[in-house]
Amino acid sequence: MGKRVAISGNHSIAEGVRLAKVDVVAAYPITPQTPMVEKVADFINQGRLDAKYIAVESEHSALTAVVGASVMGTRVFTASAGAGLALMHEIVGVASGNRLPIVMGIANRSLPSPWSLQADHSDSMAERDLGWIQLYAASCQEALDYTLLAYRIAEEVRLPVMVCIDGFFLTHTTEAVDLPDQADVDQFLPAFERGDIYLDPDDPMTINQLNSEATFTELKYRHNEALNSVVDLFPHVAKEFEERFGRKHSLCTAVGCEGADVVVVTLGSSSGTARKVAGQMRADGQKIGTLQVSCFRPFPKQEVIDHLKHAKAVAVVDRSWALGTDGPLAQEVKSAFYSAGLNVPVYNFVGGLGGRDLSEATVKRVIGKALELKEQEEQALYPIWIDVKEEAK
Amino acid sequence: MKHKAGIYAVTITDTKTGAWRLNRPVVSEKCTACGICAKFCPPQIIKIEDRAIIDYEYCKGCGICDSVCPFKAIAMVEEEA
Amino acid sequence: MADLVSKGLTTCEGCGMELIARSILDVLGQNTIMLTPPSCSAILTGFGSETGWKVPAFQSNLENIAAYCSGISVALEHQNKTDINVVALAGDGGTVDIGLQALSGAVERGHKFIYVCYDNEAYMNTGIQRSGSTPVGAWTTTTPGGKKEPKKNIVEMLLAQGIPYVATASVGYIDDFKKKVAKAREIDGPAYIHTFSPCPPGWRAKPRDTIKIAKLAVDTNLFPLFEAIDGEVRVTRKVRKVASIKEYLELQGRFRNIRDEEVESLATDAENYYNKLLESEAK
Amino acid sequence: MQEKELRILSRGGQGAVTAAHILVEAAVAANLYAQAVPSFGQERQGAPVYTFARISQEPVESHTYVYEPDIVVVFDPFLMELGIDPLQGIKDHATLVINDKKLPEQLRGKFAKTGIVDAWGITHELIGNVPPNAAMLGAIAKTTGLIQIEHITQAIMNVLGERIAKVNAKCAQVAYERTVVSET
């Protein structure tokens, strides 16, 4: 039946790793990811997880080592954040290009510069187009559940997954989390089976070699097809998860979107905050909806269109500094809308950067501004920095 | 068609590098079958029987066999165009 | 000959690395996983659906081959597969320069793997650019006036780290190299073999002289052959009569413009280092 | 019970983050949902630290700091001399739990309910010169009535190391008994 515990987001992902019976872990500590990998190391030390921990000398080597362990046919885990993820960048493409079912915990932290220890999505967004599945959790419970979903999906489609949790607002926040029983997880997540590529003297092959223009496009095409197939696969796996564990998960979660004057679209920990604010406003008679995007890659275009097509306006909150254009989430929503021929105004708000709290007041400001723009039928070509201090202007 | 997931190669490449050769090593009767040439041949295509036998399908003609032979039993002869 | 590498490889004529690659599998046999970085050794790893290896192989990135070895080695350990060799075959650039951090980390953690560096003293695959391993006085495209700085001594760095097995070798003494590969296999931890490997096009040398040059490097004491098991140094080839450095240099166009004082410093450094090795052997 | 939001004011080294974690642990034991949100800064020993918590019967949605607390917990009255204002943003009918011998002058009449505890005195008496966090947890239990003291002491036993758990649980218990609660 499992039990309810009080654990942080970092600890939640570590519990997911333990329950997934990972074989090899390689990681390099970086704030705010550190307690996540410390916890995994602790599980191994206590004998609660039969795995090997490689305390590598850099993030680059962390992802490299798990790529190596993955092609040997073991279930693997690594984790990083911010500049550490940026250092991994080259290997991020290697992991997905080789179709390896690696799961990586991301404790979202802003990229330098300026240096920041704290949350925004600029780190994982910089990796968004390299063919990994990206899941963004909104709570410690989701951090755990997404980790289990990640292994299951990764191993079905042979693609790596980033499970992203906002630095401090999830990594270091303690919450009540329902911890599943090992026996149930074992039913949900079968023992690891090696994929099509492996290093085995009994069946030798060469992996990851040079390719030319004669084959490159086809390999990337199949990679892309596999990634896009997750949009169809996810609901099936989530349904099975719900039947076994009683918790519902979706590519994106909509509340009160039908006919809403404004729908607030979010990624990560601010999703719950937005739901709470919108819920209060609905109770006061205002028509405000929310859409939490959990799966950012592949981007569930159709689901997003279906949820948002009857809204009167959409306010997309990007906790990321995509400088020079729209935030990444807004780009996706606008792109999906255009493809579907929707003419719903989409306003992009950038906020919560470098650890600035995306507070309930900020969410209210986003909604207020979106209503105002809609009322005045105004366009906003570039994002509105919703929580920037006046002195910066 | 079901494709394998990943980047892999299983076909053993086999370039007939003998075509590159400008000079052909020719083994004479001075060969004692000592095996030194075979030991240092980079593509390892010299077999030692009663004398050294070179696989000209792959020999690039580098001349290492000639250079290491203590008995001067190999001569490099220009290939005809 | 185990015949675990395709005969028809597109390496250059007289390539030292090719002989090293074949010799490794000659000793280790089929139960071996080979890794190569993007470099000349990647010629063996192949292109498209074709490979030169008949054993399992993996193409690493340039700077992280030892980290791949770490992951592979640990996974094998976790699977209780103790009879499979994990071998990195990387050039001097991928080893002493960009690959140094991953190598140092993997050695410090003590993973069981064999790292063979084929040292051709420059970045040859990209067309002869200097590396940390290029010797004083050598021309490369990025040292058009000859390199000013002495060669980086990676072996001493690894010795200082306490690596359980480290050796130098030369394609000129291929039996000695093979013996060292066989020893490396028996080490329960990281083993490193730094192997002198002439590159005829890069050194502006005749392909036929590869072995001659590789022997001379040893016989001039420019590249002494030794090994160290748990730090205990043993010179594996004692040089009775020191060969002429001039002869060695003259076989290679890359040293055409070397200055007398640079030749002098090469000779002095070679003598001093060789004597230092003999001294540490005596201890 | 509606969701209750707590703001804990302390200084680096006083154990507020651990206390908030224990509070969530206790809430879970009481079959409630809860959340502890640390704020992150340059946490030097002695620097002011804000820690936030929420306790609810439903899963907690918000993942932000607390700006309009129902309950303010002051680990160290000296913070007020550093310019930290326990009154900032408080909801109507808010509750105060403070580590002091008596209610500071400037806080009189500002809270609907106050719990006063000499957490340092109790901690020094039972343990020594260690953080007052266990005692503060006892005082929070007593003043707010949100969580029973048994759940607090059990959570302390679960979270803290064996060596120090028992005496800290005792500390919470004694503080619970000695906290003076008054309502206006």
**For residue D58, how many C-alpha atoms fall within 13 Å in the half-sphere facing its CB?**
7
| Cα A155 to Cα C187: distance, rounded to the nearest angstrom | 35
Which residues of chain A have a pLDDT value below 70? 1
Q: In this complex, which chains have at least 3 CB pairs below 8 Å with chain B?
A: A, C
Split at pLDDT 50, 70, 90, the class of D41 is low
Cβ atoms of A276 and D62 within 8 Å: the answer is yes
CATH numbers and ranges of domains, chain D: 4-183 (3.40.920.10)
Average pLDDT over residues D38-61: 88
Amino acid letter, B60 = K
* 3-class state of residue C187 by DSSP: coil
Q: Does A200 touch chain B (CB under 8 A)?
A: no
Going from the C-alpha of C204 to that of each of B24, C173, C251, the distances in angstroms are: 21, 22, 8
State the distance between the two ends of chain B, measured CA to CA, in whole angstroms: 46
Reading the block at residue D124, the tokens are 């020094």
Enumerate the residues of chain B whose CB falls inside 8 A of the CB of residue A207: 6-9
Amino acid letter, C119 = D
Cis peptide before A298 (omega within 30 of 0): yes
How do residues C105-146 score in pLDDT, each as one tens digit? 999 999 999 999 999 999 999 999 999 999 999 999 999 999
Q: Does A211 touch chain C (CB under 8 A)?
A: yes
Cβ atoms of A68 and A121 within 8 Å: the answer is no
Q: In this complex, which chains have at least 3 CB pairs below 8 Å with chain C?
A: A, B
CA distance D115 to chain A (A): 25
Cβ atoms of C115 and C76 within 8 Å: the answer is no
Q: Do C174 and B66 touch (CB under 8 A)?
A: no
What is the sign of the dihedral through the CA atoms of C89, C95, C99 and C104?
positive
Q: Do C211 and B68 touch (CB under 8 A)?
A: yes
Average pLDDT over residues D33-39: 95
CATH numbers and ranges of domains, chain C: 16-282 (3.40.50.970)
Q: Tell which phi-psi region holds residue D136, choosing left (phi > 0), alpha (psi between -120 and 50) or beta.
A: alpha
Residue recorded with tokens 């391993």: C133
Going from the C-alpha of A291 to that of each of A308, A345, A360, the distances in angstroms are: 8, 15, 16
Residues 30-59 of B with CB under 8 A from C: 39-45, 55, 57-58
CB pairs under 8 A between A and B: 40
Split at pLDDT 50, 70, 90, the class of D46 is confident
Split at pLDDT 50, 70, 90, the class of D43 is low
* 3-class state of residue A34 by DSSP: helix
Q: In this complex, which chains have at least 3 CB pairs below 8 Å with chain A?
A: B, C, D
* 3-class state of residue C131 by DSSP: coil
Q: Do C46 and B67 touch (CB under 8 A)?
A: no
Assess whether pLDDT exceeds 90 at residue C43.
yes
Residue recorded with tokens 């970086």: A30
Amino acid letter, A287 = K
Cis peptide before B43 (omega within 30 of 0): no
Residues 137-196 of A with CB under 8 A from B: 158, 195-196
pLDDT at A1: 63
Answer with the residue of higher pLDDT: C283 or A190: A190
pLDDT at B1: 39
* Pick from A54, A73, A215: CB nearest C70: A54
Contacts 24+ apart (CB under 8 A), D18-21: D18/D131, D18/D133, D18/D159, D18/D160, D19/D51, D19/D133, D19/D134, D19/D136, D19/D137, D20/A174, D20/D51, D20/D52, D20/D53, D21/A6, D21/A174, D21/D159
Strand partners, A317: A349
Split at pLDDT 50, 70, 90, the class of B2 is low
pLDDT at D45: 80
Cα torsion through B2, B4, B9, B11, rounded to 10: -30
Residues 10-69 of C with CB under 8 A from A: 30-33, 38, 42, 45-49, 51, 53-61, 63-64, 67-69
CA distance C279 to chain B (A): 32
> B28-78 — its CATH code?
3.30.70.20
Cβ atoms of A314 and A330 within 8 Å: the answer is no
* Pick from B3, B8, B9: CB nearest A222: B3
Chains A and C touch (3+ CB pairs under 8 A): yes
* Pick from B5, B8, B10: CB nearest A158: B5
The DSSP element (H or E) to which B60 belongs, if any, is: none
CA A78 to chain centre: 15
Residue recorded with tokens 């003043």: D143
Q: Does B10 touch chain A (CB under 8 A)?
A: yes
Q: Do A207 and B8 touch (CB under 8 A)?
A: yes
* Interface predicted TM-score of the whole assembly (ipTM), two decimals: 0.96
Enumerate the residues of chain A whose CB falls inside 8 A of the CB of residue B8: 196-197, 205-209
| Cα A35 to Cα A38: distance, rounded to the nearest angstrom | 5
Reading the block at residue B63, the tokens are 């001349």
Q: Do A222 and B7 touch (CB under 8 A)?
A: no
Q: Do A65 and C71 touch (CB under 8 A)?
A: yes
Assess whether pLDDT exceeds 70 at residue D167.
yes
| Cα C84 to Cα C77: distance, rounded to the nearest angstrom | 10
Residue among A67, A159, A205 with most chain B CBs within 10 A, to mutate: A205
Assess whether pLDDT exceeds 80 at residue D42.
no
CA distance B14 to chain A (A): 15
Considering only alpha carbons, which residue of chain A is nearest residue B8?
Answer: A207
Q: Does A26 touch chain C (CB under 8 A)?
A: yes
Chains B and D touch (3+ CB pairs under 8 A): no
The residue among A224, A230, A240 whose CA lies nearest residue A190 is A240
Going from the C-alpha of A225 to that of each of A250, B3, D156, the distances in angstroms are: 20, 12, 51
Return the DSSP state at B2. P
* Pick from C31, C71, C77: CB nearest A67: C71
| Cα D21 to Cα D152: distance, rounded to the nearest angstrom | 11
* Pick from B16, B61, B66: CB nearest C13: B61
**Average pLDDT score over chain D:** 95
CA angle D123, A35, D147 (to 5 degrees): 45
CATH numbers and ranges of domains, chain A: 3-244 (3.40.50.970), 252-392 (3.40.50.920)
Q: Do A66 and C46 touch (CB under 8 A)?
A: no
| Cα A66 to Cα A75: distance, rounded to the nearest angstrom | 9
Cβ atoms of C128 and C92 within 8 Å: the answer is no
In the sheet that holds C32-36, the strands lie side by side as B8-9, A206-207, C57-59, C32-36, C85-91, C113-119, C190-196, C165-170, C226-229, C232-235
CB pairs under 8 A between A and C: 148
Cβ atoms of A67 and A88 within 8 Å: the answer is no
CB pairs under 8 A between A and D: 82
Q: Do A73 and C32 touch (CB under 8 A)?
A: no
Residue recorded with tokens 């006036």: C145
